[in-house]
Structure 1
């Protein structure tokens, strides 16, 4: 076995290359010929520039509940990825709490409407990444308490503050096999656990302190609704009794009427009223929805709203649980209701299972205020001359976003899951690569697909136009790069051939500034060079001084320093350079966005690291004027917009 020192990066003076090792494989990265005395021992400095999170696009509604509220500050609060968003819709401003180290799964608002509790899943980092709850101040964004580091196993799936004692206690449920429920005393400087007990082997969907009954917690989930009492530091449970009523497969949501009754919505479409202080049904609204009742909300005026999964309907009921006739249907593009909540004044907020948020009233209209992707997200590209960018994902959706108004310019559903995209340099055409070898050419004015091509039979990994727009390189998962000649302003494509030489799938391609050369990276860490007639350039001396128009390739001499020590080659997914060639950003597998000085050739270069995503960061792109960095998180489906300062 080779000693560790032989796996250290080393500089070959005679040949003019830096050798780095990824997963034990040596990769030679050729330096420009003017670099003669390369000191491999010095550490590259971090850049003067920094990033500041400016905007987060998206919302986690697909698999999280009760995660949308209105605060006295005028902001609505919700979460996506590892970030809690405080969004003032009227002022078009966002603030962000991003002290979590991985996906936020649940949220609760303290009775004082200032303190917030948020629970997260088990993360990447061994110490900091343990599932825990953070209690923080929504005005200052300061963390007040960190609860349960080492107490929870998998993720914290429910949190709720006590109401009658002014919020001195917090109940938490661990999303592990036995769904341990714990109560914490948070009234002192150092919170402590009062008690814990196993609750159920079935999934738990909600757990709430009763607002009108002291030391009562109501919990629901698969095949259960249970009423817990905290007495002398012990939790005791009574199961809900259905008697003649049909027991549902899932109890999906809870709410509390003003008279102290507990309301539950279930998978059979029924709303049951559990009499105050009992575990028995006092009233039933059978067949309230066609399909499951996903959310219930008691409004300030005492009326009750119910939101349907299958039927996408929102109905209003009076205090006696009779329908008032006021209702609305969520448009299909936004999907079923996930959570309902009281907004500002008489407005209602609707979070949907398709990761959107709508705001409005039942008698008028609900307007979308947050859009989001709803499946894995890899495709991201900045517009060549405007403050816009495109995203596309496995959800078959293509969005054009405006980075100044933080809004959707337009969106389009295509027939295939998408993975990659790019703009023609003239800015009126975009190309989208799909999972099944097709790539589509879209007219940005009409939003129509003007032509489609198929190359190979695998996913289109990356797409890149030459700087003059005369060529398109299509990198495929089948190890080939397909080259096309482009004419008529990006509307006509003629295949030149394919570049054959990689022994693994293509990951990134970049064009030279003069459009004469291509460089490509592959899944097994090869760096190869090509001419526009698809010939491989085998002599490093022919290409070592080429100026590259973009730097999306994660392997190259100028980006050797973006690889952490002991990297296995899949740790860094993406990189992007500013147009002025001074800074490069990278996205890694640990949810981090990193900012380096460019060129970044020294191994173990210093950087500024930022956490807001929770999943692997799949794409990083600076806007055309270098003012912003746009980043995409793969499985967290979030798009983050950072200001470069």
Structure 2
């Protein structure tokens, strides 16, 4: 058939070829039992017994089209004429393909085209009607452009990169809940720790942070070289935005320059690195050991060699810690679930000896290990015991029964020879020959996960509630870093001040000062929090929970103003109108609840609920005049409302020219260009335009923050991309003056503050 067509094509002819394999078209075709394709255009019909252009009669509705190329391309703007249709018809007697029929079908003024797309995303322009149609997971999404753009808009025009960039300014949080031995003090006075895929170097005295951002996914372990400059960090396996697997590996880097020196283990490890240790001698080529999760391989290697050597099976159970002997680089101790092993390098291979508990009851977990000045190994276990193992021996030489009332999570040998232990009982205990000093950490901060020596007599503590504390054995401990302890979704910025509020599934609400990087106040709720929104006056803030309850807090005092319940499902979005007279609440029960607001957000009365969505509400935006509301849902619907009467607006002419106060919806004409190729509709979690309407920020499922120019109404618009989060970025928002923006990580529980430069 192609040969038949090409016989009629001359060099100057305009010819369209359509391949309906992998993208979308919105027209229906004949059922498969009909032998003819009938095409009607400009009052003339054409029937094909053998289908042209490799068209298939299956299925009833074309759902996939990869490309429709116009060769040669004579125009850039393309629309589909409303008179074009595909349908069933009877064949005309003696029908034959002829040059005139082909020429009429493909005449130059036929404006029919598709933008080249991939399987999951396609964009079509309907210029006559003034709208763009985008497809996500096979579902068409119609987005009408403002009336003044209809005559000038071109789908294939190239968008510009944003004129601004982002620089990571501050990282809030610490990963202490499920990681160990990840807190150190450097000679520069910086405390080093990690959260998400960022290593933070925090100078508490100068209130400055630096960041190592070489990792691509969750960091799980950290160790500092004896030279106090070189640092090694290990990460888990991950997945990139294009679906490629990111291998777990160790990065060795310089803490002064933040330059990566070596990358170890790429293509060798399977899931995650759980602990790291350098040998203690200060020399050019130190040894380093690795423990990997799942396969539990224990590896001994020279850090500056380009390969890993001497892999050995460590244990079939979890490994929690590994450390080199302080005076013998050929000896390593590992511990974990139901085991303690002493390893020695002998004749080029690793030899393992199991620790013998003998008369001592074997603990379920050996959780930590350190060494005394004379070379004895000291362990802490889940029974609350501290055991001393004589140098060169795998037998217990001293047992301190019940040193803690619960598990001993951390041991640290100070420079003066004092042993400090920290436990699940929240107690910090110092041990020497003459006495004990017991310091209890307040319950608010949680059990002690790790202990590190600070400057002078100070001690650093990392807790399971993700606090980093600083203090002395004789005084109190104060937090220098804190964060959330469960999945984080709620974020809202103060409309008048450099403040923002976060809330999460840990039931904690925290108001932060973005200038001092300190919490102004925190409050614990009864329910897991999901969303938040400030009243335009800044006097109150509304918090939505996962149970259908929502509450309003006084911003200054954090006192409870009111509590309401709407449904029993998650409240995903809380949005006040610009004039402060209404509150819209988007719920997972498919409704939008509307409340009238008075007294600067102190008084609420229910107006009703907007019903019309067939899936849960994900995003909401108000118009500048507070008269209209636009909503997105989980099945990619865009609906418009008059919230004062809870009525849906279906008139395109009414909605297309509405001026919106914010752009946080992920679907709409002004922002559809942010969707990348291959998106399945769930990749983008959050969107926010700058207050000046010049920039657009997004957070995606791959831990990335994207910065676009606004408006973003050209397909596949270019952007700047920034990493740091290791989980889905759940929310993004500009501060009130657009100088900075905030992003939140879901399961990584981090909050990141970016400076716009």
Q: In 2, distance between residues paired with 1:543 and 1:214?
A: 72
Q: 1:234 aligns with which of 349, 372, 375?
A: 349
Match of residue 197 from structure 2? 82
Match of residue 4 from structure 1? 66
Contact 1:482 1:497 in 2 (8 A): yes
Q: Which aligned pairs between 1:514-525 and structure 2 lie closer than 5 A?
A: 514-525=625-636
Match of residue 178 from structure 2? 63
Contact 1:373 1:638 in 2 (8 A): yes
Match of residue 500 from structure 2? 389
Match of residue 46 from structure 1? 161
Q: In 2, distance between residues paired with 1:312 and 1:434?
A: 30
Per-residue CA deviations over 1:153-184 (Å, capped at 9, x if unaligned) read 000111111123635211111112x3011122
Contact 2:237 2:245 in 1 (8 A): no
Q: In 2, distance between residues paired with 1:276 and 1:98?
A: 39
Q: In 2, distance between residues paired with 1:415 and 1:127?
A: 40
State which drifts further: 37-46 or 197-206. Answer: 37-46
Aligned length: 638
Match of residue 567 from structure 2? 456
Contact 2:708 2:719 in 1 (8 A): yes
Are residues 1:409 and 2:520 paired?
yes
Q: 1:596 aligns with which of 702, 705, 708?
A: 708
Match of residue 262 from structure 2? 145
Q: 2:413 aligns with which of 286, 298, 302?
A: 298
Contact 1:420 1:432 in 2 (8 A): yes
Match of residue 292 from structure 2? 174
Q: 2:456 aligns with which of 345, 357, 370?
A: 345
Q: In 2, distance between residues paired with 1:150 and 1:570?
A: 30
State which drifts further: 10-19 or 129-138. Answer: 10-19
Q: 2:129 aligns with which of 3, 15, 18?
A: 15
Are residues 1:252 and 2:381 paired?
no
Per-residue CA deviations over 1:137-160 (Å, capped at 9, x if unaligned) read 000000000001011000011111
The Cα shift of 1:440 comes to 0.4
Q: Secondary structure at the match of 1:193?
A: coil
Higher relative contact order (CA 8 A, sep 6+): 1
Q: In 2, distance between residues paired with 1:394 and 1:291?
A: 27
Q: Secondary structure at the match of 1:227?
A: strand
Q: In 1, distance between residues paired with 2:664 and 2:343?
A: 55
Are residues 1:314 and 2:411 paired?
no
Q: 1:219 aligns with which of 319, 334, 348?
A: 334
Are residues 1:27 and 2:144 paired?
no
Match of residue 276 from structure 2? 159
Q: In 1, distance between residues paired with 2:653 and 2:236?
A: 50
Q: 2:489 aligns with which of 372, 378, 386?
A: 378
The Cα shift of 1:127 comes to 5.7
Q: Secondary structure at the match of 2:188?
A: coil
Q: In 1, distance between residues paired with 2:649 and 2:66?
A: 33
Structure 2 unaligned segments of length 5 or more: list them: 1-62, 68-113, 115-120
Per-residue CA deviations over 1:296-322 (Å, capped at 9, x if unaligned) read 00001110100011x10000101x4x6
Contact 1:18 1:31 in 2 (8 A): yes
State which drifts further: 25-34 or 159-168. Answer: 159-168
State which drifts further: 371-380 or 232-241. Answer: 232-241
The Cα shift of 1:489 comes to 1.3
Match of residue 610 from structure 1? 722
The Cα shift of 1:193 comes to 1.5
Q: In 1, distance between residues paired with 2:275 and 2:477?
A: 28
Q: Secondary structure at the match of 2:563?
A: strand
Match of residue 635 from structure 1? 747
Q: Which aligned pairs between 1:482-631 and structure 2 lie closer than 5 A?
A: 482-532=593-643, 533-631=645-743
- Length-normalised TM-score, structure 2: 0.83
Q: In 2, distance between residues paired with 1:249 and 1:15?
A: 70
Q: In 1, distance between residues paired with 2:587 and 2:537?
A: 24
The Cα shift of 1:128 comes to 6.9
Q: Secondary structure at the match of 2:238?
A: coil
The Cα shift of 1:105 comes to 0.3
Q: In 2, distance between residues paired with 1:43 and 1:285?
A: 71
Structure 1 unaligned segments of length 5 or more: list them: none
Per-residue CA deviations over 1:512-536 (Å, capped at 9, x if unaligned) read 0000000000000101000021110
State which drifts further: 107-116 or 211-220. Answer: 211-220
Q: In 2, distance between residues paired with 1:641 and 1:584?
A: 16
Match of residue 91 from structure 1? 206
The Cα shift of 1:231 comes to 2.3
The Cα shift of 1:25 comes to 1.1
Q: In 1, distance between residues paired with 2:506 and 2:453?
A: 30
The Cα shift of 1:192 comes to 1.9
Q: In 1, distance between residues paired with 2:604 and 2:232?
A: 54
Q: Secondary structure at the match of 1:8?
A: strand
Are residues 1:354 and 2:469 paired?
no
Per-residue CA deviations over 1:394-446 (Å, capped at 9, x if unaligned) read 00000000000000000000111000001111111011000100000101122
Query: Residues 357 and 405 of structure 1: is their aligned pair in 2 closer, same or farther, counting only changes over 3 Å?
Result: same
State which drifts further: 615-624 or 159-168. Answer: 159-168
Contact 1:483 1:534 in 2 (8 A): yes
Contact 2:595 2:607 in 1 (8 A): yes
Q: In 2, distance between residues paired with 1:137 and 1:344?
A: 21
Larger Rg: 2
Contact 1:194 1:233 in 2 (8 A): no
Q: In 2, distance between residues paired with 1:288 and 1:587?
A: 47
Q: In 2, distance between residues paired with 1:393 and 1:491?
A: 23
What is the alpha-carbon root mean square deviation over aligned residues?
Answer: 1.1
Q: Which aligned pairs between 1:122-137 and structure 2 lie closer than 5 A?
A: 122-125=237-240, 129-137=246-254
Q: In 2, distance between residues paired with 1:165 and 1:127?
A: 39
State which drifts further: 324-333 or 38-47. Answer: 38-47
The Cα shift of 1:365 comes to 1.0
Contact 1:341 1:350 in 2 (8 A): yes
Q: In 1, distance between residues paired with 2:350 and 2:712?
A: 57
- Length-normalised TM-score, structure 1: 0.98
Q: In 1, distance between residues paired with 2:535 and 2:528?
A: 21
Per-residue CA deviations over 1:58-103 (Å, capped at 9, x if unaligned) read 0000000000000001100000000000000000000000110000
Are residues 1:326 and 2:437 paired?
yes
Q: In 2, distance between residues paired with 1:15 and 1:291?
A: 70
Per-residue CA deviations over 1:503-556 (Å, capped at 9, x if unaligned) read 000000000000000000000010100002111011121011111111110111
Q: Secondary structure at the match of 2:600?
A: helix
Per-residue CA deviations over 1:291-348 (Å, capped at 9, x if unaligned) read 1000000001110100011x10000101x4x6x2322111111100000000112110
The Cα shift of 1:39 comes to 2.1
Q: In 1, distance between residues paired with 2:687 and 2:274?
A: 34
